[in-house]
Amino acid sequence: MHNIQYLLNKYILLPFLGQKRTIKYIHKKALNRELDIDHPVTFTDKIHCRKIERNKLYVLCADKIKVRDYVKKTIGEKYLIPVFLITKKLKEEDWNNLPDSFIVKTAHASGTNVIVYDKKNTDKKEVLKIIGKYQKINFAYVWCELFYKKIKPYVIVEKLLVTKNNTIPDDYKMHCFKNNGNWKIFIQVDTDRFGNHCQNFYDEKWKLTDISMGLPITETPKDKPEKLEEMIEISKKLAKPFEYTRVDLYCLNNQIYFGELTFTHQAGLTRFNPPEYNEIWGSYWKKAS
């Protein structure tokens, strides 16, 4: 999918339509409604309009390597996932020096991760091949998020966070809206992302909402994280320069870990259920920047 969209945008839509008209085309095709770039109202409208901005902080904080310095300065190094390797290209000799388990990511994109649970039982050449392909995709052109163009496609290898049952921990995506110093936060909890993927949305008091973005909800609400107040506190600090951003966190063995900062949630292709939440979330965010 990334390859097809990349080729379509880079070689056909952007050269002939320009960025604004290409964004309007993507929005219309995905959500079946027109985008008013000059007067965006809904959350997805504003996500699409944000793609046009040239904010240097987007480049810094969307880079999975450089964002670590931002996190260290803003909330402290203790929240960072340990790193085993940062390199321009993952090679066989690098693989041999890595621990038994880890996660490989590219710095310049989203969804370009490879999880290695057990190196001895993993096809090394296949992983190197997949990561190499990911590095060749200019993610900026996939959904016209052009601020990604300035991020170098380096590889970062991190410690793999797993629970006692050897599963990936829940992913807490903190949707942070700031308006004149007032905060509104919704907490998206993704469970079993590589299996029976479920997704719930809570408010900052941990009250379950009826928001859905297309994935099933868990049969019973999740327990409130013991570190919820701290997670909210550090999310606000990381999100402070922006009217909206998504702060991804993990909480494992009573330790909070930073995942990433996201400025264009689901590339603006989100389908809210109930649909009115699209406009409600948009009302919390006054400017599309």
pLDDT at 287: 74
**What is the enclosing helix (H) or strand (E) of 190?**
strand 182-191
pLDDT at 98: 97
Q: How far apart are CA 249 and CA 234, in angstroms?
A: 10
Q: How far apart are CA 204 and CA 224, in angstroms?
A: 10
Q: Are 256 and 250 in contact (CB under 8 A)?
A: yes
pLDDT at 179: 87
Average pLDDT over residues 126-139: 93
Q: Quick check: 2 pLDDT over 70?
A: no
Average pLDDT over residues 102-130: 95
End-to-end CA separation in angstroms for the chain: 27
Residue with tokens 């995506």: 173
Considering only 1-15, 58-72, 73-87, 131-145, which range has the smallest mean pLDDT? 1-15
pLDDT at 165: 87
**Residue % of the chain over a pLDDT of 70:** 98
pLDDT at 250: 97
Q: Quick check: 1 pLDDT over 60?
A: no
What integer best gives the mean pLDDT of the chain?
93
Q: How far apart are CA 25 and CA 225, in angstroms?
A: 41
Average pLDDT over residues 226-240: 97
Q: What is the pLDDT of residues 191-223, one digit of tens each?
A: 988 788 899 999 999 999 999 998 998 878 889
Contacts of 4 (CB under 8 A, 6+ apart): none
Q: How far apart are CA 141 and CA 3, in angstroms?
A: 10
Q: What are phi and psi of 25, to 5 degrees?
A: -65, -45
Relative to beta strand 244-252, strand 102-106 is: unpaired
Average pLDDT over residues 244-257: 96
- Tokens (6 digits) for 55: 């904010």
Q: Which domains are delineated in the chain?
A: 80-160 (no CATH), 171-263 (3.30.470)
Q: How far apart are CA 220 and CA 215, in angstroms?
A: 15
- Tokens (6 digits) for 233: 């506190």
pLDDT at 289: 62
**Residue % of the chain over a pLDDT of 90:** 80
The pTM of the full predicted model, rounded to 2 decimals, is 0.94
At position 57, the amino acid (one-letter code) is L
Q: At 102, is the pLDDT very low, low, confident or very high (cuts 50, 70, 90)?
A: very high
